[in-house]
Structure 1
Amino acid sequence: MSDTHLVLHDPDGLIEAELPLDRAPHGTLVTAVLAWNDPDLAPRDYEQIALHLTGHAHAVAADVRRLAAALPKSDGRGALAEIVLREADGRLPTPLKGTAHCAQNRARLVQALYTSLGHLTAPVLSAT
């Protein structure tokens, strides 16, 4: 076995852009986490769920950012996406806590990012 390794340099995220997001399991997780009323999980379980949602939020935000950047400046969908992205940029770096509240906040963020992604990928109806 060799102890050499290959370092991938992809500053524009082109490889990631080619990988489709697997929305179904993450959507199910978001729905389940947001439906919690008074769950009784260990703090490390909440942290793991929040960590998983955080990683997925980063991936969805990258897609939203890429699609919004490709829109013409006059397209209002880009401005709305920027609002969601600013919110994500402010919330994603915050430390995770082993609480249901923290996991639910990450789930809400993923939900908002998916809503923004949906607006960016929906066909635009012309007013003709």
Structure 2
Amino acid sequence: MSGTVLHDPHGLIEAELPLDRDPYEALVTTVLAWKNPDLQPRDYEQIALQLTGHARAVATDIRRHAAALPEDDGRGALAEVVLREADSCLSAPLEGTASCAQNRARLVRALYTRLDRLTEPLPAAT
């Protein structure tokens, strides 16, 4: 079996790929709607792991968009605050609990909110 090794140290190829947002937003909605879930710890861990991986991808997208903003654009500073909070949350070890999965779901939601604010056009000055 042969293949091509791809060298993309700056993540340029990944930057061109859109995030597969819909399934993760559905997962976030489901996880945050839990009242008294009765899953096995390994199931919570798997859900939290999925959300963690996606949170990292969204954070990377936020960093890319924020870096492209002019220095005087306040959205970049707000993005940095959200990214610091995300880094803190993502550095916590995964646990096999509903609470852990829900915390990761909240993080994904917050990251998407920030990404949307970075990518929406600013109102025209009058």
Q: Scaled by the length of structure 1, what TM-score is found?
A: 0.93
Alignment partner, residue 124 of structure 1: 122
Moved over 2 A (4+): 5-9
Alignment partner, residue 12 of structure 1: 10
SS in 1 for 2:55: helix
**Structure 1 portions without partners, runs of 5+:** none
Number of residue pairs the alignment of both structures matches: 126
SS in 2 for 1:92: helix
Q: 1:62 aligns with which of 60, 63, 69?
A: 60
Alignment partner, residue 101 of structure 1: 99
**Structure 2 portions without partners, runs of 5+:** none
Q: 1:49 aligns with which of 35, 47, 50?
A: 47
Alignment RMSD, CA only? 1.2
Could you give the per-residue CA deviations for residues 80-106 of structure 1, whole angstroms, max 9, x where no partner exists?
111110111111122100000000000
Q: Scaled by the length of structure 2, what TM-score is found?
A: 0.95
2:50 and 2:31 map into 1 onto residues whose CA distance is 12
